[in-house]
Chains A and B, each alone.
Chain A
Amino acid sequence: MDCKEIQDKLSAYIDRELAPAEEERIRLHLDVCGTCTARYAMLLQAWQALDAWQDVAPPDRMRTKILASVRPQRRETRFRAALSVAAALLLVFGLAFYYFGQKSGSMQHLADSQTPVQTAVGDVSEEEIMANLPLLQEDDFIEALDELVRIDDLPLAEEPSNSIKEPERSSLNLVVT
């Protein structure tokens, strides 16, 4: 390799983008050639000077704005979904009690078994997150169901069973507000 060829590769050499053998050849040439070494030093210094332009922290409001522009319609659809889920639940449970009479405790158990398992999100991969986002948008009905189950005072409270605490009128309000 002549000096011209070497100098054409100095940039890739600086960026460690060369094959080991090629890198070694350039290193050996730089050991003996003042012209190429001077050129190398100049390019390297300029490249290192770019470090003076440091990262800045994004404004705090950015995250809030992103979430806000993604959520409003979401909250609305979820609210509507939550209402219909609540109505469906009332109907289902009403019918269940009508047909099977009072079986104390069984419905409470059902509610417990539906409580979603909270999982740590710290080491979740981007692929997993991305796979989940469409669910976030499309499965509003299912999520609304989850939301309802997560709230302790379900419309289940309408159940006349002894094992369940006093019915609370405010139960649905929790979802509505």
Chain B
Amino acid sequence: MMARYQRQMVLGEVGQKGQRRLLNSRVLVVGAGALGSAAATYLALAGVGTVGLVDGDVVELSNLHRQILHDSDQVGVLKTESAQRRLGALNPDVRVVEHPVFLNRDNTLGIFAPYDVIVNGSDNFPTRYLVNDAAVLLQKPLVDAAILRFEGQLAVFRPGLGCYRCLFPEPPPLGTVPDCAVAGILGAVAGVMGSMQAVETLKLLLGLSNDNRLRIYDALAGTWYPVPFMRDPACRVCGDAPTVSTLIDYENFCGVAAGLDDRGSGVAGEWSVTVDEADSLLADPNLLVIDVRDPREYAAGHIPGAVRLNLEDLDAWVSHHADQKTLVVCQVGIRSASATEYLRLNQMDAWNLAGGTRAWEASGRPLSQEDAQNT
């Protein structure tokens, strides 16, 4: 049975003893998505004896560019089932436990209880805070990662040494952080981060992990940056006087229960519209579309009829367009969100296009290279 692991048992840090320890370990992977796929694959190959997977979703075609546990034949199948088949074929030593549910305040502590380490590969903020709080309450180590575009964040939270809420006490307001459906993700970046989660989990199980850092991976620059952090004595979950002693309603905590959906990137969440919602604004002949990108970006392609305006000139522009109804656009919706907020502060009827020109183009709508006149 041990022959399979010969090349890793050669490592002094593993050996026969370490390998036995791995075979007797139980790791729960939350989310059988992009991160969970990579993490669970390496954990199973390394011979972690029990690998649990929590995910209530089924496999979709758009998952397959990054979720390496699943393939074209599994579209429509529960992700936990698809994962079980793959991991079982990769390493029959491993017991794969399927939890084909979405975590909530009622089922999480019970699901987490038998596991030694929790690996967080969830894809939304309510689940991230839920998983963190449950791990703190049960005093289980948590290996957390999250990805967006070309960026990855990785953190190992060990009991008593800080938690996700020590880094980010409050969830971001709805609409201020785009998800991967809006902003995109390179599959290989998710693979890097999920593999790192497996590395950190194996280190925890083998007693090789001792630091307390967030690590930021910048795939475009090809760099990793360690960000040291400390447990926050004021943390509401792991601080000196915690106020969260049981799981709460995380949808509510993160504002999702308010009935709003994800508004894309930017600071002006409540004044953001999706490309589809922008159609009704654009039907108004009095609407003006302003594009706050630089001349080069504008020339490369803009929403037909959009006029270009420098952010620096916004102040002067406001004084001449007091009652103008405006849709503000940039590349992905961040600069335009700032501009929208500024116009709103000046009592203007301004809206931000979430996802910007990129989302407009991705929806199949045309771009123009013709210069529209700024009036």
The answer to whether A and B interact is no
Report which B residues bind A (CB closer than 8 A).
none
A residues at B contact (CB < 8 Å): none
